[in-house]
């Protein structure tokens, strides 16, 4: 199956060039937690693509005079060269070289910036890796002009996955599924696909406010966390539960069932963290303020009948999800009652978005 992503002949023809993509972050509703080699998910996941949280990456490339040794690239973040990002990108390049044979033929400058503050604790690997993948696909497209639009995006997602699993859901909008599922046509472990089944209008413009609870470096990386699912006592049960939750969310989307959406999304978030807490060694990524916010959300919902709910990623930050028609009231509540639990009172308003955009031709 992976074979189809190996180009037949792809000698780089262009001497030099430059390409820019803006790629979104995403927030999983049914979580990916646990993987097999090479970057294959243990269960299906589904996410909202975001709109305001994104990465913009310009890839400048020029033919190398003599191609000796390993890849030749440099990484610039917010105008400053970053040596410490290089190992992660080097691993990414190693994984994708079979599919991107021109990788060693060029010198690359990867110039990148995020719309959200650096060290905000918002994962930049999803949007960051999908941006590089799309830039590389733009180079491939120049060589292979017969590549269809569908094949272009599918391979971009395939490559992004090899950089960071959740990055394969950061190519298209507005809802993306990754991981084979018997009831989702076209779903694959190799790449994310746009969710094509019925989605009620309420979910088309869902809001997501990200509360920045803790901006520090995480104590346990996602990659280490995923690995701890090997031999985890509850792993098999969890993977089955996720498959079942995909069935449930299909019905929820089709039937506009916001109450069931809340129940499912919050349960997924807490299950993810329960997996962390029951790993060996165990760990906790939530902070006291994460729990404060969760309790405030529950109290607010009880008092007002609001449809506000929360989800979590692999960290202390809280994503608050709510329908567009509650935007004004919920954002008042966040500003007045929840901002105090955030570092420097900072939060980011976002909403469901449409996927990556090329900014230069």
Binding site residues, ligand DP6, CB under 6 A: 28, 31-33, 39, 45, 123, 125, 164-166, 222-223, 226, 272, 313-314
CA–CA separation, 241 vs 225, rounded Å?
19
Q: Measured at CB, which residue is nearest to ligand DP6?
A: 165
Please, are residues 169 and 28 in contact by the beta-carbon 8 Å criterion? yes
What is the DSSP code (8-state) at residue 172? B
| Least Å from the CB of residue 302 to ligand DP6 | 28
Q: Name which of 51 and 222 has its Cβ closer to ligand DP6.
A: 222
Q: Name which of 91 and 304 has its Cβ closer to ligand DP6.
A: 91
In the sheet where 207-211 sits, what is the strand order?
309-312, 318-322, 207-211, 347-351
Residue 226's nearest CA partner among 88, 41, 27 is 41
CA–CA separation, 158 vs 278, rounded Å?
31
| Least Å from the CB of residue 88 to ligand DP6 | 9
Provide the pairing of β-strand 35-36 with 72-77.
unpaired
Q: Name which of 138 and 166 has its Cβ closer to ligand DP6.
A: 166
| Least Å from the CB of residue 31 to ligand DP6 | 4
Q: Name which of 33 and 261 has its Cβ closer to ligand DP6.
A: 33
Q: Name which of 33 and 322 has its Cβ closer to ligand DP6.
A: 33
**In whole angstroms, how far apart are CA 320 and each of 29, 82, 210, 323, 351?**
12, 32, 6, 10, 10
| Least Å from the CB of residue 157 to ligand DP6 | 13
| Least Å from the CB of residue 47 to ligand DP6 | 6
């Amino acid at each position: 199956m992976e074979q189809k992503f190996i180009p037949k002949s792809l000698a780089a023809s262009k001497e030099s060039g430059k390409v820019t993509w803006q790629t979104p972050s995403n927030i999983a509703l049914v979580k990916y937690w646990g993987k097999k080699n090479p970057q294959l998910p243990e269960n299906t996941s589904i996410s909202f693509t975001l709109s305001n949280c994104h990465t913009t990456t310009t890839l400048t490339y020029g033919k190398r005079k003599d191609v000796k040794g390993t890849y030749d690239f440099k990484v610039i973040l917010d105008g400053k060269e970053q040596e410490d990002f290089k190992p992660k990108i080097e691993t990414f390049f190693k994984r994708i070289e079979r599919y991107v044979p021109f990788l060693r033929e060029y010198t690359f400058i990867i110039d990148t910036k995020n719309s959200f503050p650096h060290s905000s604790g918002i994962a930049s690997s999803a949007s960051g890796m999908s941006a590089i993948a799309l830039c590389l696909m733009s180079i491939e497209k120049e060589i292979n002009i017969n590549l269809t639009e569908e094949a272009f995006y599918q391979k971009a997602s395939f490559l992004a996955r090899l950089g960071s699993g959740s990055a394969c859901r950061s190519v298209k909008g507005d809802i993306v599924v990754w991981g084979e599922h018997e009831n989702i046509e076209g779903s694959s472990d190799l790449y994310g696909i746009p969710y094509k089944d019925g989605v009620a209008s309420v979910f088309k413009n869902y809001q997501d406010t990200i509360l920045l609870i803790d901006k520090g470096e995480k104590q346990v990386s996602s990659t280490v966390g995923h690995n701890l699912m090997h031999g985890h006592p509850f792993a098999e049960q969890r993977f089955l539960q996720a498959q079942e939750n995909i069935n449930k969310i299909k019905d929820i989307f089709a039937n506009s069932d916001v109450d069931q959406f809340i129940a499912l999304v919050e349960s997924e978030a807490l299950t993810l963290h329960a997996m962390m807490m029951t790993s060996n060694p165990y760990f906790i990524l939530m902070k006291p303020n994460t729990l404060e916010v969760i309790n405030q959300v529950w109290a607010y919902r009880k008092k007002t009948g609001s449809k506000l709910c929360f989800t979590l990623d692999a960290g202390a930050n809280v994503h608050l999800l709510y329908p567009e028609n509650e935007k004004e009231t919920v954002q008042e509540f966040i500003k007045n009652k929840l901002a105090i639990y955030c570092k420097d009172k900072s939060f980011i308003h976002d909403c469901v978005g449409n996927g990556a955009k090329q900014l230069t031709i």
